[in-house]
Amino acid sequence: MNVLEIRNLTKKFGDFIAVDRISLQVKKGEIFGFLGANGAGKSTTINMIAGLLRSNDGTIEILGKNIMKNKRFAKMNLGIVPQDLAIYEDLTAFENVRFFAGLYGLRGSELDAKTREALAFVGLGDHHKSTPDKFSGGMKRRLNIACAIAHQPKLIIMDEPTVGIDPQSRNYILNSVRKLNEMGCTIIYTSHYMEEVEEICTKIAIIDHGKIIAEGSKEQLKSIITDKKEVRIEVKTTEPVDPAEIRKIKGVETVSVQENIIRIQSDASINNLNLILEFLISRHIEIKALQEKEPNLETVFLTLTGRNLRD
């Protein structure tokens, strides 16, 4: 059963087409990774699903019902964890969660019970009387999640829920996502951290320039580039490196230079490692480490979009 189904969804801002006739299906029980660089159309799509933006064309169905015709039903079954913290600093953690859950029609003891449940789920049960200004970044992120799940939605959209927090809080959140999924929630997850997506998502879609350019499981996406190999070279300084010159080496397809790391993707059938090393040595570039990598999601993303996820 599809929890979310999008057909030919389009959104224009003036002449600019932010989302260009995309179609997607998210099945019940999936953790759906939605990847795209900044400006790719990811947030616009999420905002249309959440009812924050109106589409110019196409349809969105949640649990088989068109969200435009069944707004209340769609909203009741949807939880949003926005990228920016959306909490009130003047209210306690309990009051924050209680207020947002109350917007979904919960009242009285049921509202209190579900508020406590949500806070306990994100590990803030002991901090329910504190205001967020006394919380660490990770705790605020967890409160942000609690506000979205107290009404027990069937579909939860998490937009960069781990941005800017410590590794411990990140692990806590990732475990919470898995637990929510085990409890029957379907999750749409976006992140700039590819390793997170690779770790928890069961299905992934990549959006670029408003279009879905790839969709499938991690394995399916990686299989797209089995004919590729990647070399990661750590150098002392990348100053004398000209990616355009490296690209001229036989078999080289893409070159990415970040800080003191050069990543080179080549045709897997051509053995060009000697040529690459010869080139770097001839330019007096000091090599500190070299690693030939199996294709991963980051490689896939770079191959398909020509840019890094953090670009």
Is residue 29 part of the contact set for other proteins (CB under 8 A)? Answer: no
Q: Using CB under 8 A, which of the segments 79-87, 122-130, 161-169, 214-222 binds other proteins? A: 79-87
How many angstroms from the chain centroid is the CA of residue 213? 15
Q: Which residue matches tokens 């969709």?
A: 215
Q: b/e for 266-297, b at 16 or more Cβ within 10 A?
A: beeeeebbeebeebbeeeebeeeeeeeeebbb
Is residue 58 part of the contact set for other proteins (CB under 8 A)? Answer: no
Q: How far is the CB of 49 from other proteins (least distance, A)?
A: 10
Give whichever of 88 and 236 is closer to other proteins, judged by the CB atom.
88
Cα(first)–Cα(last) distance of the chain, in Å? Answer: 35
Is residue 161 part of the contact set for other proteins (CB under 8 A)? Answer: no
Binding residue count for other proteins, defined by CB under 8 A: 31
How far apart, in whole angstroms, are the C-alpha atoms of residue 185 and residue 150? 12
Q: How far is the CB of 89 from other proteins (least distance, A)?
A: 8
Strand partners, 188: 32, 157
Is residue 84 part of the contact set for other proteins (CB under 8 A)? Answer: yes
Q: Using CB under 8 A, which of the segments 72-80, 164-172, 192-200, 252-260 binds other proteins? A: 72-80
Q: Using CB under 8 A, which of the segments 78-86, 184-192, 199-207, 247-255 binds other proteins? A: 78-86
Counting Cα atoms < 13 Å in the Cβ hemisphere of 100 gives: 28
How far apart, in whole angstroms, are the C-alpha atoms of residue 132 and residue 146? 13
Exactly one of 147, 155, 221, 280 binds other proteins (CB under 8 A); that residue is 147
Cβ pair 302, 206 in contact under 8 A: no
Residues from 90 through 129 that contact other proteins (CB under 8 A): 90-91, 95, 99-100, 102-105, 107
Closest CA to 304 of 195, 156, 204, 169: 204
Residues that bind other proteins (CB under 8 A): 47, 50-54, 71-72, 75-76, 78, 80, 82, 84-91, 95, 99-100, 102-105, 107, 147-148
